[in-house]
Amino acid sequence: MTAGNRDVHTWLTERVATYLRRSPQDIDTSRPLADYGLDSLTALAITADIEDEFEVTVDDALTWDHPTVDALSAALSGLVGEKRV
């Protein structure tokens, strides 16, 4: 699966929802992932998903510095955009 033109925010929300076995509508993207049970160690897995999906390399502590879907999307949008040109 490739992201195509889908928005990073939408993709991330869906990814997190899949992990939580919930629907994307149930995720408040401004809340820390830890509130949903993705603690500091388990949230690290998301960085690898991001790498696989967008073919970028991200910092291993990305989810520590940007602990919500909103913050992650903001941090990624520049990076992902650059790679897409």
Which residues are at the interface with another protein (CB under 8 A)?
A: 18-21, 32, 34, 36-48, 51, 60-61, 64-65, 67
Minimum separation from the CB atom of position 51 to another protein (A): 7
Residue 60 token pair? 């291993």
Amino acid, res. 24? P
Minimum separation from the CB atom of position 31 to another protein (A): 12
User: Toward another protein, which CB reaches closer, 7 or 51?
Assistant: 51
User: Among residues 83, 46, 48, which one has the least CA distance to residue 63?
Assistant: 46
User: Toward another protein, which CB reaches closer, 26 or 39?
Assistant: 39
Minimum separation from the CB atom of position 78 to another protein (A): 21
Is there a contact between 49 and 43 (Cβ–Cβ < 8 Å)? no
CA–CA dist 10, 53 (Å, integer): 13
